[in-house]
Chains A and B, each alone.
Chain A
């Protein structure tokens, strides 16, 4: 991955940070504001020059670090993201929308015109793409931070790492490891719950299984996930395809590993589209 090299850092007295939003709910940007204890030292280390969620006073580029939230769902955004890329030295996408297309990528399995007709009185005014896709499907991205929403401690870790010129430490292992570290009982084994923990990337601290809910896969596929094996095991047990498919097609439905497995389990559906 690219990091700011020491020369670049020496030149930058206080790196300028910008936050951009595409198709999203703003929840990931809010995680930056939720860094309450760390906000002051963050403001000491960085100059936040473009963050509409916090202030309408914005400065123009170029920016040293850009945080990009949201997916690409419109023609205008597909163009705008290139402009953001041109203005940004180190571009970090944040959240399931920006890294996988988000929950709105469910439209990839439907018909755009059907949706428009159902929702809008005058669909002819709406200009929208047929798909919702990740930022990295359109421009080169320097770092992807997963999660729905992102974990603010991981966000701080990424910013710390970029400032220090090192690789961010955001583990790519399964949620199961975190479940075991916190002593949770595996609900897939003890209760036959459909849990995506074994194929989902860590990051949330394994919250849901600790409260007797299967993992929803908010942080997307873990590294080298064996989705097919887990899906086959669940289908062989008490979990039906109509229950499993929506679980795979959730916040990270358009992440390649989840998408491929969901389509395999549900062959009646149209294939998800990835531009």
Chain B
């Protein structure tokens, strides 16, 4: 545990009208008051919760449902949570879920049509408008939401489903105080400190939270909580904890000239190598908080008199996704993996003026065979000739029995 200055400081007086530029301090029990306030205000509070041996995002009714005492360990293709008995509620990192599933739902009905007496009637079903309060949004996730905002809200085509959910959503961010081995937000300049894009931001101290507001909605909630202004000791404790997260980040992605690097190496042999490992199973795109692809299909009943147009999450790793009148455009794993990585890290700049990667590491952890995009980019940085010198993935003892060459 870090040590803190014991120099006593006077408690500052209660501020009746919290300001947005000031940091405050609330006891941990005030988080329950905050949850209740939000619920009374019609919000569905969604936050981290332990389910199925993972920290997922689900509806939270009480502070006791938060993952108190839990830590996570993450490696390529491996995720574990463990109850360690500490008293903190947020001492872990991003898990299998992201806020994407609430703002950009995996399945949505976008239109329906009915035929009566040979006349068709079409309608857009009224979107049920859940009002979400997201509790425990990490800095990389704020960056991801900002990226999806650009995709769904800016430009000529505004997505009404995303827009309705996003505009009513309230965001309570949490500054990371630990990092997983798969985190690389410092490389992508998206964290770990939350800077913009939240209503309220928390840093969890040993016995309370430092809290700040960035919006009028956040400030008004803070007013109701009547917090004390944070004293220097609190701010110093928060700073040390936030610095601990920075120091724990070991993974790096060198983004120097990354757009031209990737687009200039479309025939690099590394694409062949990674395609022997890639399963094209779509997991990386599904867990990615910025991936936004979907497909739209019509579901018709047997009589042909009723049809629903349904939108579902889809992925560039699916064969059918690039199916056109002339056949499948990306008809092997190599071209699909290359499409995903070059879009995420290179052509995204042309399309949306930023990287599509926020450094959350989900695609590394949740790849069933542990493919690490930072390693792939590093390998492509090597000239093709010296690429052969890169360490080959060590074959395990178990596969020594695999003597038969059965490659097609």
Contact = CB atoms under 8 A, between A and B. Distances in A.
Interface of A: 38, 41-42, 44-45, 156, 159-160, 163-164, 169, 171-174, 176-177, 180-192, 195, 197-199, 212, 222-226, 228-230, 232-233, 235-236, 240-241, 260-261, 263-265, 267
B399 A169 contact: no
Contacts of B390: none
Nearest to A171: B320
Which of B80, B97, B302 has the most chain A CB atoms closer than 10 A to its own CB?
B302
A212 B282 contact: no
Interface in B36-51: 51
B301 interface: yes
Interface stretch (B59-67, B125-133, B273-281): B273-281
Contacts of B318: 171-173, 177
9 contacts: A173-B318, A173-B319, A174-B280, A176-B368, A192-B78, A229-B278, A240-B398, A260-B406, A263-B404
Contacts of A212: 52
Contacts of A261: 406
A4 B79 CA distance: 50
Which of B106, B280, B366, B396 has the most chain A CB atoms closer than 10 A to its own CB?
B280
A147 B318 CA distance: 19
Nearest to A176: B281
Given A159-B302, A230-B368, A235-B399, A183 B278 contact: no
Nearest to B54: A185
Contacts of A195: 368
A3 to B, nearest CB: 15
Interface string B69-108: 0000000011110000000000000001100010000110
A13 to B, nearest CB: 16
Q: B interface, how many residues as a size bin?
A: 35 or more
A199 B302 contact: no
Given A171-B320, A186-B96, A176 B286 contact: yes
Contacts of A233: 77, 368-370
A45 B300 CA distance: 14
Given A164-B304, A189-B77, A236 B283 contact: no
Nearest to A260: B406
Given A180-B313, A190-B79, A185 B319 contact: no
A198 B279 contact: yes
A229 B408 CA distance: 14
Contacts of A222: 281
B315 interface: yes
Contacts of A260: 406, 408
B406 A198 contact: no
B406 A199 contact: no
Contacts of B401: 241, 265, 267
B319 A169 contact: no
A264 B406 contact: yes
A229 B399 contact: no
A173 B53 contact: no
A267 B408 CA distance: 17
Contact of B402 (A163, A177, A225, A267): A267
B216 interface: no
Contact of A191 (B53, B279, B286): B53
B192 to A, nearest CB: 23
Given A176-B283, A186-B96, A235-B396, A38 B302 contact: yes
A146 B129 CA distance: 37
Nearest to B304: A164
B403 A267 contact: yes
B346 to A, nearest CB: 24
Contacts of A180: 106, 282-283, 286-287, 313
B365 interface: yes
Contacts of B395: 232, 236
A177 B319 contact: no
A212 B96 CA distance: 15
Contacts of A263: 404, 406
Contacts of B301: 38, 41, 160
B362 to A, nearest CB: 11
Interface in B366-398: 366, 368-370, 395-396, 398
A159 B302 CA distance: 8
A190 B286 contact: no
Contact of A189 (B78, B314, B319): B78
B402 A264 contact: yes
A189 B365 contact: yes
A157 to B, nearest CB: 8
B260 interface: no
A235 B78 CA distance: 15
Contacts of A264: 402, 404, 406
B77 A172 contact: no
Contacts of A197: 281, 368
A84 B396 CA distance: 50
Interface in B311-325: 312-315, 317-320
Nearest to B321: A173
Contact of A198 (B79, B283, B302): B283
Contacts of A241: 398, 401
A19 to B, nearest CB: 17
Q: 8 shortest A-B CB distances, which residue pairs?
A: A180-B286, A198-B281, A236-B396, A235-B398, A181-B106, A233-B369, A185-B54, A176-B281
Nearest to B314: A177
B398 A236 contact: yes
A173 B320 contact: yes
Contacts of B399: 232, 235-236
Contacts of A224: 280, 319, 332-333
Given A177-B313, A198-B281, A190 B54 contact: yes
B60 to A, nearest CB: 15
A57 B377 CA distance: 66
B231 interface: no
Contacts of A181: 106-107, 286, 312-313
B56 interface: yes
A174 B300 contact: no
Contacts of A236: 395-396, 398-399
Contact of B303 (A44, A182, A198, A235): A44
